[in-house]
Amino acid sequence: MKHQAYKKSQGGFTLVEMSIVLVIIGLILGAVSIGKDLQRDAEYSKIKQKFVDQWVQSYNAYYKRAGVVVGDSQSQPRFMVNGEDYAAAAGAPVSGGDMTAATEPNAICQGVKAPKMTRADADVDLHAFFDRLGIRMPPGRAEGLEDRYLYLDSNGNPQEVQVCFQWNRPGTAEGSGNVMVLAGLTPDLARTLDQMIDGKADAREGNFRQQGVANSTGGVAGIEWVGNNAQDQTAATASATDVTDNQDEDQVITLVAVYKMNQ
Protein backbone atom coordinates (compact mmCIF):
# COMPACT_ATOMS: atom_id res chain seq x y z
CA MET A 1 0.00 0.00 0.00
CA LYS A 2 2.78 2.38 0.83
CA HIS A 3 4.49 1.58 -2.47
CA GLN A 4 1.31 2.30 -4.43
CA ALA A 5 0.73 5.60 -2.63
CA TYR A 6 4.30 6.68 -3.38
CA LYS A 7 3.90 5.92 -7.07
CA LYS A 8 0.66 7.88 -7.19
CA SER A 9 2.22 10.95 -5.56
CA GLN A 10 5.03 10.99 -8.13
CA GLY A 11 2.69 11.06 -11.16
CA GLY A 12 3.42 13.75 -13.81
CA PHE A 13 1.20 15.90 -16.04
CA THR A 14 -1.09 14.22 -18.52
CA LEU A 15 -0.89 14.99 -22.24
CA VAL A 16 -4.09 17.01 -21.97
CA GLU A 17 -2.65 19.14 -19.18
CA MET A 18 0.59 19.67 -21.12
CA SER A 19 -1.41 20.69 -24.20
CA ILE A 20 -3.38 23.24 -22.21
CA VAL A 21 -0.17 24.73 -20.78
CA LEU A 22 1.39 25.01 -24.26
CA VAL A 23 -1.74 26.67 -25.63
CA ILE A 24 -1.70 29.20 -22.79
CA ILE A 25 1.98 29.95 -23.39
CA GLY A 26 1.28 30.42 -27.11
CA LEU A 27 -1.58 32.82 -26.37
CA ILE A 28 0.61 34.84 -24.03
CA LEU A 29 3.42 35.09 -26.59
CA GLY A 30 0.94 36.03 -29.31
CA ALA A 31 -0.62 38.70 -27.12
CA VAL A 32 2.82 40.19 -26.39
CA SER A 33 3.65 40.30 -30.11
CA ILE A 34 0.31 41.87 -31.01
CA GLY A 35 0.69 44.32 -28.13
CA LYS A 36 4.00 45.57 -29.53
CA ASP A 37 2.44 46.16 -32.95
CA LEU A 38 -0.51 47.99 -31.40
CA GLN A 39 1.85 50.10 -29.33
CA ARG A 40 3.85 51.06 -32.41
CA ASP A 41 0.66 51.92 -34.35
CA ALA A 42 -0.44 54.12 -31.45
CA GLU A 43 2.95 55.85 -31.46
CA TYR A 44 2.69 56.54 -35.20
CA SER A 45 -0.76 58.07 -34.72
CA LYS A 46 0.70 60.23 -31.96
CA ILE A 47 3.49 61.41 -34.28
CA LYS A 48 0.86 62.40 -36.85
CA GLN A 49 -1.43 64.20 -34.40
CA LYS A 50 1.04 65.70 -31.92
CA PHE A 51 3.92 66.55 -34.26
CA VAL A 52 3.19 66.56 -37.99
CA ASP A 53 -0.31 68.10 -37.78
CA GLN A 54 0.82 70.67 -35.23
CA TRP A 55 3.71 71.79 -37.44
CA VAL A 56 1.25 72.24 -40.30
CA GLN A 57 -0.88 74.37 -37.96
CA SER A 58 2.16 76.42 -36.91
CA TYR A 59 3.08 77.00 -40.56
CA ASN A 60 -0.48 78.14 -41.34
CA ALA A 61 -0.51 80.36 -38.24
CA TYR A 62 2.69 82.02 -39.49
CA TYR A 63 1.05 82.74 -42.86
CA LYS A 64 -2.09 84.09 -41.21
CA ARG A 65 -0.13 86.40 -38.90
CA ALA A 66 2.58 87.56 -41.30
CA GLY A 67 0.69 87.43 -44.60
CA VAL A 68 3.60 85.50 -46.12
CA VAL A 69 5.08 82.02 -45.75
CA VAL A 70 8.02 81.28 -43.48
CA GLY A 71 11.09 83.30 -44.41
CA ASP A 72 9.40 85.34 -47.14
CA SER A 73 9.63 89.12 -47.41
CA GLN A 74 6.60 91.00 -46.09
CA SER A 75 7.38 94.06 -48.20
CA GLN A 76 8.26 92.18 -51.41
CA PRO A 77 6.64 88.75 -51.08
CA ARG A 78 7.52 86.01 -53.54
CA PHE A 79 5.30 83.31 -52.00
CA MET A 80 8.37 81.12 -51.42
CA VAL A 81 9.71 79.62 -48.21
CA ASN A 82 12.84 81.67 -47.48
CA GLY A 83 11.86 83.96 -50.36
CA GLU A 84 13.55 86.94 -48.70
CA ASP A 85 16.90 85.33 -49.54
CA TYR A 86 15.79 84.34 -53.03
CA ALA A 87 18.39 84.57 -55.82
CA ALA A 88 17.40 84.17 -59.49
CA ALA A 89 19.43 82.03 -61.86
CA ALA A 90 20.95 83.69 -64.88
CA GLY A 91 18.14 84.79 -67.19
CA ALA A 92 15.40 83.65 -64.80
CA PRO A 93 12.79 86.16 -63.61
CA VAL A 94 12.70 87.23 -59.99
CA SER A 95 9.01 86.40 -59.77
CA GLY A 96 6.36 85.17 -62.18
CA GLY A 97 7.07 83.90 -65.68
CA ASP A 98 9.01 80.69 -66.24
CA MET A 99 10.41 79.56 -62.89
CA THR A 100 11.77 76.18 -63.99
CA ALA A 101 15.31 77.59 -64.17
CA ALA A 102 15.10 79.56 -60.93
CA THR A 103 17.68 79.03 -58.22
CA GLU A 104 15.85 77.67 -55.20
CA PRO A 105 16.32 79.46 -51.88
CA ASN A 106 18.01 77.52 -49.13
CA ALA A 107 15.76 75.29 -47.08
CA ILE A 108 15.00 76.40 -43.53
CA CYS A 109 15.96 73.95 -40.77
CA GLN A 110 17.04 74.34 -37.16
CA GLY A 111 20.62 73.94 -36.02
CA VAL A 112 21.71 71.67 -38.87
CA LYS A 113 20.26 70.48 -42.15
CA ALA A 114 18.17 67.34 -41.77
CA PRO A 115 19.92 64.09 -42.77
CA LYS A 116 19.47 62.81 -46.34
CA MET A 117 17.86 66.01 -47.66
CA THR A 118 18.68 66.54 -51.34
CA ARG A 119 18.71 70.34 -51.06
CA ALA A 120 22.32 71.47 -51.26
CA ASP A 121 22.16 73.87 -48.33
CA ALA A 122 19.87 75.11 -45.58
CA ASP A 123 19.60 78.12 -43.31
CA VAL A 124 19.40 76.90 -39.73
CA ASP A 125 17.24 79.45 -37.91
CA LEU A 126 13.77 77.90 -38.18
CA HIS A 127 12.83 78.59 -34.55
CA ALA A 128 13.80 82.26 -34.85
CA PHE A 129 11.15 82.88 -37.52
CA PHE A 130 8.36 81.57 -35.32
CA ASP A 131 9.70 83.22 -32.16
CA ARG A 132 9.70 86.64 -33.85
CA LEU A 133 5.98 86.40 -34.47
CA GLY A 134 5.21 84.84 -31.10
CA ILE A 135 3.92 81.62 -32.66
CA ARG A 136 4.02 78.60 -30.40
CA MET A 137 5.73 75.61 -31.95
CA PRO A 138 4.82 71.99 -31.18
CA PRO A 139 6.52 70.63 -28.05
CA GLY A 140 8.65 68.26 -30.15
CA ARG A 141 11.49 66.47 -28.42
CA ALA A 142 12.31 69.18 -25.85
CA GLU A 143 12.66 72.93 -25.37
CA GLY A 144 14.89 74.15 -28.17
CA LEU A 145 14.31 70.92 -30.10
CA GLU A 146 10.72 71.57 -31.15
CA ASP A 147 11.58 70.54 -34.72
CA ARG A 148 12.56 66.99 -33.60
CA TYR A 149 10.59 63.97 -32.44
CA LEU A 150 12.17 60.84 -30.97
CA TYR A 151 10.64 57.38 -31.41
CA LEU A 152 11.64 53.71 -31.55
CA ASP A 153 11.83 51.76 -34.79
CA SER A 154 10.54 48.19 -35.23
CA ASN A 155 13.85 46.81 -33.90
CA GLY A 156 13.62 48.93 -30.75
CA ASN A 157 16.36 51.37 -31.78
CA PRO A 158 15.96 55.17 -31.41
CA GLN A 159 15.10 57.25 -34.48
CA GLU A 160 14.51 60.99 -34.83
CA VAL A 161 12.13 62.84 -37.14
CA GLN A 162 13.30 66.34 -38.13
CA VAL A 163 11.19 69.04 -39.78
CA CYS A 164 12.44 71.57 -42.35
CA PHE A 165 10.64 73.80 -44.88
CA GLN A 166 11.59 74.64 -48.46
CA TRP A 167 10.33 75.84 -51.84
CA ASN A 168 10.61 73.45 -54.81
CA ARG A 169 10.74 74.93 -58.29
CA PRO A 170 8.47 73.57 -61.05
CA GLY A 171 9.78 70.27 -62.37
CA THR A 172 11.07 69.03 -59.00
CA ALA A 173 10.65 65.25 -58.82
CA GLU A 174 8.50 65.19 -55.67
CA GLY A 175 6.41 68.20 -56.70
CA SER A 176 6.75 71.98 -56.79
CA GLY A 177 5.77 74.71 -54.33
CA ASN A 178 6.21 75.12 -50.60
CA VAL A 179 6.67 71.86 -48.72
CA MET A 180 7.45 70.60 -45.24
CA VAL A 181 10.34 68.15 -45.29
CA LEU A 182 10.19 65.24 -42.85
CA ALA A 183 13.50 63.40 -42.46
CA GLY A 184 14.19 60.34 -40.33
CA LEU A 185 11.09 58.29 -41.22
CA THR A 186 11.35 54.52 -41.14
CA PRO A 187 9.56 52.93 -44.13
CA ASP A 188 6.62 51.72 -42.05
CA LEU A 189 6.21 55.15 -40.43
CA ALA A 190 6.34 56.83 -43.86
CA ARG A 191 3.69 54.48 -45.24
CA THR A 192 1.49 54.97 -42.18
CA LEU A 193 1.66 58.77 -42.41
CA ASP A 194 0.94 58.60 -46.15
CA GLN A 195 -2.09 56.41 -45.49
CA MET A 196 -3.36 58.87 -42.87
CA ILE A 197 -2.78 61.97 -45.02
CA ASP A 198 -3.63 60.80 -48.56
CA GLY A 199 -5.77 57.74 -47.88
CA LYS A 200 -3.27 55.31 -49.42
CA ALA A 201 0.44 54.60 -49.27
CA ASP A 202 1.78 55.87 -52.60
CA ALA A 203 5.29 57.32 -52.86
CA ARG A 204 4.59 59.56 -55.87
CA GLU A 205 0.95 60.65 -55.56
CA GLY A 206 -0.91 63.06 -53.30
CA ASN A 207 0.27 65.69 -50.84
CA PHE A 208 2.64 63.34 -49.01
CA ARG A 209 5.41 61.88 -51.19
CA GLN A 210 8.87 60.41 -51.02
CA GLN A 211 11.74 62.77 -51.75
CA GLY A 212 13.19 62.25 -55.23
CA VAL A 213 10.35 60.04 -56.55
CA ALA A 214 8.97 61.65 -59.70
CA ASN A 215 5.31 61.61 -60.70
CA SER A 216 6.20 61.44 -64.39
CA THR A 217 3.54 59.05 -65.67
CA GLY A 218 -0.15 59.87 -65.50
CA GLY A 219 -3.02 57.42 -65.44
CA VAL A 220 -1.05 54.51 -63.97
CA ALA A 221 -0.91 52.91 -60.55
CA GLY A 222 1.40 54.46 -57.98
CA ILE A 223 4.53 52.91 -56.55
CA GLU A 224 5.58 51.65 -53.14
CA TRP A 225 7.83 53.64 -50.86
CA VAL A 226 11.41 52.82 -51.79
CA GLY A 227 12.77 51.20 -48.65
CA ASN A 228 11.62 48.61 -46.13
CA ASN A 229 12.19 47.67 -42.50
CA ALA A 230 14.46 44.76 -43.42
CA GLN A 231 17.14 47.28 -44.50
CA ASP A 232 19.48 49.06 -42.11
CA GLN A 233 21.10 52.49 -42.21
CA THR A 234 24.18 51.14 -44.01
CA ALA A 235 22.20 49.83 -47.00
CA ALA A 236 23.79 51.15 -50.18
CA THR A 237 20.44 51.76 -51.89
CA ALA A 238 16.89 51.75 -50.60
CA SER A 239 14.58 49.09 -52.01
CA ALA A 240 10.95 48.13 -51.47
CA THR A 241 11.79 44.40 -51.59
CA ASP A 242 15.46 43.93 -50.64
CA VAL A 243 16.06 41.88 -47.46
CA THR A 244 19.85 41.57 -47.54
CA ASP A 245 20.30 43.57 -44.34
CA ASN A 246 17.73 41.81 -42.19
CA GLN A 247 19.21 41.82 -38.67
CA ASP A 248 17.08 42.31 -35.57
CA GLU A 249 19.73 44.43 -33.88
CA ASP A 250 20.15 46.87 -36.79
CA GLN A 251 18.85 50.42 -36.88
CA VAL A 252 16.20 50.50 -39.60
CA ILE A 253 16.88 52.56 -42.73
CA THR A 254 15.25 56.01 -42.79
CA LEU A 255 13.62 57.93 -45.65
CA VAL A 256 12.74 61.57 -46.39
CA ALA A 257 9.22 62.70 -47.24
CA VAL A 258 7.79 66.02 -48.45
CA TYR A 259 4.37 67.29 -47.37
CA LYS A 260 2.77 69.82 -49.70
CA MET A 261 1.63 72.98 -47.88
CA ASN A 262 -1.56 74.85 -48.78
CA GLN A 263 0.21 78.23 -48.97
Q: Give the predicted TM-score (pTM) of the model.
A: 0.83
Give the residue among 111, 114, 109, 86 at the shortest CA–CA distance from 184.
114
User: What pLDDT does 162 receive?
Assistant: 98
Rounded CA-CA distance 50/53 in Å is 6
User: What phi and psi values does residue 15 have, to the nearest 5 degrees?
Assistant: -60, -35
> Taking 80 as the threshold, does the pLDDT of residue 135 lie above it?
yes
User: What phi and psi values does residue 162 have, to the nearest 5 degrees?
Assistant: -130, 135
Residues 6+ positions from 43 with CB-CB distance below 8 Å:
151, 152
User: What pLDDT does 234 receive?
Assistant: 81
User: What pLDDT does 191 receive?
Assistant: 95
Rounded CA-CA distance 135/65 in Å is 9
User: What pLDDT does 131 receive?
Assistant: 95
- 203-221 pLDDT, tens digit per residue, is 998 999 999 998 867 777 7
User: What pLDDT does 159 receive?
Assistant: 96
Dihedral class, residue 35 (left if φ above 0, else alpha if ψ from -120 to 50, else beta)? alpha
Q: Which residue has the higher pLDDT, 63 or 84?
A: 63
Q: How does residue 3 score in pLDDT terms, banded at 50, 70 and 90?
A: low
- 8-48 pLDDT, tens digit per residue, is 555 566 777 677 777 777 666 665 555 566 678 899 999 99
Kindly report the CA angle at 114 between 112 and 118, in degrees rounded to 5? 120
> Taking 60 as the threshold, does the pLDDT of residue 70 lie above it?
yes
Helix/strand/coil (H, E, C) string of 6-64? HHHHCCCCCHHHHHHHHHHHHHHHHHHHHHHHHHHHHHHHHHHHHHHHHHHHHHHHHHH
Rounded CA-CA distance 263/261 in Å is 6
Q: Which residue has the higher pLDDT, 249 or 17?
A: 249
Q: Work out the burial of residue 49: count CB atoms within 10 Å of its CB; fewer than 13 is exposed, 13-18 middle, 19 or more buried.
A: exposed
Question: Mean pLDDT of all residues in the chain?
Answer: 85
The pLDDT of 49-72, averaged and rounded, is 96
Give the residue among 133, 136, 137 at the shortest CA–CA distance from 148.
137
Rounded CA-CA distance 125/108 in Å is 7
Residues 6+ positions from 229 with CB-CB distance below 8 Å:
153, 154, 155, 186, 187, 188, 252, 253
> Taking 80 as the threshold, does the pLDDT of residue 115 lie above it?
yes
Provide the residue type at 196 as one letter: M
User: What pLDDT does 158 receive?
Assistant: 94
> Going by DSSP bridges, is the β-strand pair 107-108/122-123 parallel, antiparallel, or unpaired?
parallel
